[in-house]
């Protein structure tokens, strides 16, 4: 009887332990590895999940030292502590959603969304604010040491990194000319995948949710109802 009770409690303990680790960092890593075939060196966490809470949609990454080893070697600065920049703060990893968005781009949706935003001053301003928020979040996510290294160096390559980290928005878009009144053109969109990753990762927390990502979400629901979002 005592042995049976001991076994019963042991099973409860094991089940509880497995349940507690189902959303752990280790599980996140394996699911991202399944999607991409590897885990990015600058991976931080899964930033958005599908409705089943089992498959990642997007991940959050550290803004430096990311990408393939070859890219890091090519973009790095010899003798500097700061290596290659990686301005994509939120990265779409879900294969079926990525494929569906690629289909939207093939159908000309990037131009359609650009036209819709350009025709609306409200949407244009929201997109600009979205770029500003993205740049601020990226810079603030850097460690104090990396901020210092980027800020104090006179190396031209490091200066370019600093500008990229501080003054580029979603998909590396330079929005400063628009905000400083130098140009009147709406900042470019460049990549629907990057905007959607940002939208699904931050739509419930930002004051200005990504309007491009929101329009992509509507287009996915319309054109690809078979894809679980």
pLDDT of the residue at 186: 73
Q: Kindly report the average pLDDT of the chain as a whole number.
A: 82
- pLDDT tens, 194-220? 999 999 999 999 888 999 999 999 999
- pLDDT tens, 162-180? 988 998 999 888 887 676 6
193-210: b or e for each residue (b if 16 or more CB lie within 10 Å)? bbbbbbbbbbeeebeebb
Instruction: Count CB neighbours of 19 within 10 A.
Output: 9
Query: Which range has the worst mean pLDDT, 34-38, 108-112, 177-181?
Result: 177-181
Tell whether the model's pLDDT for residue 181 goes beyond 60.
Answer: no
Are 102 and 196 in contact by the 8 Å Cβ rule? The answer is no
Across the chain, where does the E strand assignment appear?
43-49, 56-61, 90-92
pLDDT of the residue at 16: 36
Residue 214, CA atoms < 13 Å, CB-side half-sphere: 14
d(CA 118, CA 10): 62
d(CA 157, CA 2): 70
pLDDT of the residue at 53: 86
pLDDT of the residue at 13: 32
Sheet holding 43-49, edge to edge: 43-49, 56-61, 90-92
- pLDDT tens, 113-134? 999 998 998 998 899 999 999 9
pLDDT of the residue at 184: 55
């Amino acid at each position: 009887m005592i042995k049976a009770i001991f076994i019963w409690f042991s099973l409860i303990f094991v089940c509880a332990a497995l349940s507690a680790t189902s959303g752990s960092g280790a599980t996140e890593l394996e699911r991202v590895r399944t999607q991409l075939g590897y885990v990015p060196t600058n991976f931080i966490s899964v930033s958005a999940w599908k409705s089943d809470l089992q498959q990642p949609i997007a991940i959050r990454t550290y803004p430096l030292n990311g990408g393939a080893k070859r890219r890091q070697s090519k973009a790095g600065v010899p003798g500097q502590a700061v290596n290659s920049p990686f301005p994509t703060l939120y990265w779409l990893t879900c294969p079926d959603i990525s494929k569906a968005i690629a289909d939207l781009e093939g159908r000309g949706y990037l131009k359609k969304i650009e036209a819709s935003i350009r025709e609306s001053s409200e949407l244009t301003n929201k997109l600009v604010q979205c770029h500003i928020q993205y740049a601020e979040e990226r810079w603030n996510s850097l460690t104090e040491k990396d901020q210092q290294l980027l800020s104090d160096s006179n190396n031209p390559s490091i200066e370019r990194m600093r500008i990229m980290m501080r003054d580029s928005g979603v998909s590396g878009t330079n929005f400063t000319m628009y905000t400083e009144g130098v140009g009147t053109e709406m900042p470019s969109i460049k990549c629907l995948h990057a905007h959607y990753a940002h939208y699904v990762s931050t739509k419930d927390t930002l004051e200005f949710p990504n309007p491009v990502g929101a329009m992509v979400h509507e287009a996915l629901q319309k054109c690809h109802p078979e894809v679980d979002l």
